[in-house]
Amino acid sequence: MTALLLRHARVEDSPDPTDIRVRGGRIEAIGPGLAPPEGIGAEVVDCAGRVVIPGLIEAHLHPDKALLDGLPQEGPEGTGSLADAIRITAQLKAGFTYDEVRARAEQVLRMCVLNGTTAVRAHPDVDPVAGLTGLKVLLELREKWAALVTLQVVAFPQEGIFKAPGTEKLLREALDAGADAVGGCTYNEASLADCHRHVELVLDLAAEYGVPADLHADFGDDAADPRFALAEFIASRTAERGLQGRVTLGHATSLGGRPPTERRAALAALAAAGVAVVPLPATDLFLGGRGDDTAPRRGLAPVRELWDADVLTACATNNIRNAFTPYGTGDVLETALLLARVAHLSGPSDLRRVLRMVTYDAARVIGVPDADYGVREGAVADLVVLDTRDHATLLLDRPARTAVVKSGRVVARSAFSAELDGSLIAGEVA
């Protein structure tokens, strides 16, 4: 049974420090001068006025394909296009072994936890090339790492379904094995008709197995290719099956390239059907605009318009150091700040909303009940203590994670707090 007291904690944007008492993995009380919890192993952490926020949520990540940048590859180097990223990754994953995938995935999970992430929705490839290797690894790690991070596993058909015969059978095997959600990769089908069939099958599997669906869709600079203009189709099929609130689209980049009237209609359809959108800026910016020789496009979903249309919108990392995204540290706050920079989001209200995209809104995207999340009494004690006393500049500063708490237990700490020796500044008196 976990027992913890965070003393002198600044709860999110509260002006005054208070105490947070945790028992049995949940927040039991919040208030000044709380008595420490009783029991063997009870811990008291003095936050010294530091800000405490809910655990960060990584709503879309590919741990099985992360950290591929150091692996040797055959054939020409990639040009940075989506097609090249798919080609290079398919070639590399043909040689994946269980132990090698597990080692890289665990390294990524370690990076995430140290950066304050307490829940990850992971998308391992499920296809005739990878088989079920990545999925089985992540199902193992879901149990092995449960005390440190909640891991949701999405069966993801990266190579398409009809383009890669045998994938439907593998998806069913993955769901039978315990996958938490079914994925989709509509843009990798050969025709619009097969894209539609792909959507229908994924949503049918979601309904049949009683799991959420999380599709990679609309991955293009614009909707000139009709395979990338599927938002309204997905919304209508979601509503038909009564899956409102259980379907998510990753990327959705082509929405920003559609004419304003079309875009408004698409966003209204998504909102009405309860379909969430998760921009993945590190990947979307890297792969987007590759065909533009003048003023390359940003390749990003229209975040402010999604907000205005009341579409649930989170933000996530997607890939870490591979052909899709040759960057990344496992810090979702870094990704959130990147999104703010490129989406023309600034000022206190915008930055507060962007922070929600990797906390409260991301939690809703992955299906965490509202009552279980947040810094409030009764919620699961998934918390991050940050080395700052200023909530307003949290996203800009991305301070060190002083402590990471998972279900009431401190699972990671930062040993040092940044301090400057002012006595060494010329003219200053110690």
| Residue 77 pLDDT | 62
Give the separation between CA 63 and CA 122, rounded to whole angstroms.
Answer: 7
**Which value, in Å, is the radius of gyration of the alpha carbons in the chain?**
22
Give the separation between CA 251 and CA 313, rounded to whole angstroms.
Answer: 11
Q: With the C-alpha atoms ordered 285, 291, 295, 299, is the resulting torsion angle positive or negative? A: negative
Structure token digits, residue 305: 């318009």
| Residue 76 pLDDT | 57
Question: How confident is the chain (430 residues) per 10-residue block, as mean pLDDT?
Answer: 90 96 96 87 92 98 91 61 82 90 97 98 96 98 97 97 97 98 95 97 98 92 89 97 98 93 97 98 92 88 98 97 92 98 96 98 98 98 97 96 97 79 68
Give the separation between CA 300 and CA 316, rounded to whole angstroms.
Answer: 13
Contacts of 158 (CB under 8 A, 6+ apart): 86, 89, 90, 125, 126, 127, 130, 185, 188
Spatial contact of 218 and 231, defined as CB atoms under 8 Å apart: yes
State the distance between the two ends of the chain, measured CA to CA, in whole angstroms. Answer: 47
Q: With the C-alpha atoms ordered 316, 156, 370, 2, is the resulting torsion angle positive or negative? A: negative
Q: What is the pLDDT of residues 59-72, one digit of tens each?
A: 999 999 999 986 66
Cα–Cα distances (Å) from 23 to 28, 38, 52, 175, 409, in that order, read 6, 9, 17, 34, 10
- Angle between helix axes 133-144 and 167-177 (nearest 10 degrees) is 10
Q: Is the pTM of this model over 0.85?
A: yes
Give the separation between CA 179 and CA 185, rounded to whole angstroms.
Answer: 17
Cβ density class 120-155: b for 16+ within 10 Å, e for less: bbbbbbbbebbbbbbbbbbbebbeebeebbbbbbbb
Lookup result for tokens 């995207």: 365
Give the separation between CA 359 and CA 364, rounded to whole angstroms.
Answer: 9
| Residue 417 pLDDT | 67
Q: What is the DSSP string of 251-299?
A: E-GGGGGS-HHHHHHHHHHHHHHTEEEE--HHHHHHHTTTT-SSS----
Give the separation between CA 123 and CA 61, rounded to whole angstroms.
Answer: 6
State the CB neighbour count (10 A cutoff) for residue 200. 15
Burial class (CB in 10 A: 0-12, 13-18, 19+), 65: buried
| Residue 78 pLDDT | 61
SS (H, E, C) 78-146: CCCCHHHHHHHHHHHHCCCCHHHHHHHHHHHHHHHHHCCEEEEEECCECECCCECHHHHHHHHHHHHCC
Give the separation between CA 128 and CA 90, rounded to whole angstroms.
Answer: 10
